[in-house]
Amino acid sequence: MDPLTGFLDGPRASSAFLLRCVLSSPWCLRVRDEAPITVLGLVRGTAWVMPDGADPVELSPGDLAIARGPGHYKLADRVATPPQAIIHPGQHCTTLRGEPLAESMHLGVRTWGNDLDGETVMLVGTYESDAQVTRRLVETLPPLIVERGPWDSPLIDLLGQEIVKDAPGQQAVLDRILDLLVVALLRRWFSRPDSGKPAWYAAHDDEVIGPALRLLHNDPARRWTVEHLANEAHVSRATLARRFRERVGEPPMGYLAKWRMTLAADLLLEPGATVGAVARRVGYENPFTFSTAFKRLQGVSPRGYRQGARTGL
């Protein structure tokens, strides 16, 4: 496993919210759902994305965007169009007065808007829970990512075709398409020189640090020391320690500790997982020691983290 694979293994949609929006001007939605990640794909027309505190960005047909929560933003036909509806957590939609939106805006299977023949068509896919996306992935992203089309990928067209179907197992199909689309988008974004990619990503091509990162990602439960890692990477301990800090920005064991807690956060949300079992899978024989390390890096105990993810807090 290379570091990017481990990092992008995070998106695992489970009953994700997916919608085809069809709209005629004027329209403006105030999005306050605070979802960790929302994917926006413009099929037809134009749309503006306006994150709070940032410059508005115009989307054209074929463009894909990722909006990162919990920040709020607006979607509109024009920058000056005032909001007409608010999207709350849980994808609960109301007017500005808090009243439910008219039933007439439901235009069919996973289709919503003010005009079935509207000039703007946009696909929306939302990961509503932190349990579906690793926190480390979300924290690495800026508030808004925009990747311009055209895309040499069938995923966008496939999502557009499948999102309006009502067949057995359809939600599972849509979840997997959304996961693939997010991974493809992020991989393309990380490859850009101006993406502000994390240091560990830039380091994975390094002839010394790349192999060391793969070793840590492949076997996080191993009782690693800097000396053992250096031996596996065929360099001296001093060389590895110096180069790792220069390229990744932190010591090898500090990086390993964070990677273990990232994995643990995912594992804790698996059905039937126990704190002791998760501790062993990430290299801790003592659940108490694991819980202390987890709380130090995540800010909450393992049990508190799991309870918070389940309740959406």
- List, for residues 149-171, the tens digit of each pLDDT value: 888 889 999 999 999 999 999 99
* Cβ contacts of 279 within 8 Å, gap of 6 or more: 264, 285, 286, 287, 289, 290, 291
pLDDT per position as a tens digit, 237-267 = 999 999 999 999 999 999 999 889 988 988 8
Mean pLDDT score across all residues of the chain? 89
pLDDT band at 12 (very low <50, low <70, confident <90, very high): confident
Closest CA to 62 of 144, 189, 150: 150
Measure the CA–CA gap between 47 and 61, rounded to whole angstroms: 9
Query: According to CATH, where is 1.10.10.60 located in the chain?
Result: 200-311
Report CA-CA distances (Å) from 289 to 232, 275, 301.
27, 11, 11
The domain defined by 13-190 carries CATH number 1.20.1250: no
Query: According to CATH, where is 2.60.120 located in the chain?
Result: 13-190
Query: Range with the lowest mean pLDDT among 24-33, 42-51, 123-132, 139-148?
Result: 123-132
| CATH fold label, 200-311 | Arc Repressor Mutant, subunit A (1.10.10)
Q: Is-contact 186 39, C-beta < 8 A?
A: no
Element (H, E) at 187: helix 170-190
Determine whether 111 is exposed, middle or buried from the number of CB atoms within 10 Å of its CB (0-12, 13-18, 19+): middle
Mean pLDDT of 215-233: 93
Measure the CA–CA gap between 234 and 211, rounded to whole angstroms: 10
Full-prediction pTM beyond 0.75? yes
pLDDT per position as a tens digit, 102-118 = 888 999 999 999 999 99
Mean pLDDT of 21-35: 96
Dihedral angle, C-alpha 6, 177, 118, 61, nearest 10 °: 50
Of 131 and 30, the one with more pLDDT: 30
DSSP string, 292-313: HHHHHHHSS-HHHHHHHHHHT-
Closest CA to 185 of 159, 160, 155: 155
Q: What percent of the chain has pLDDT over 70?
A: 93
Mean pLDDT of 187-214: 82
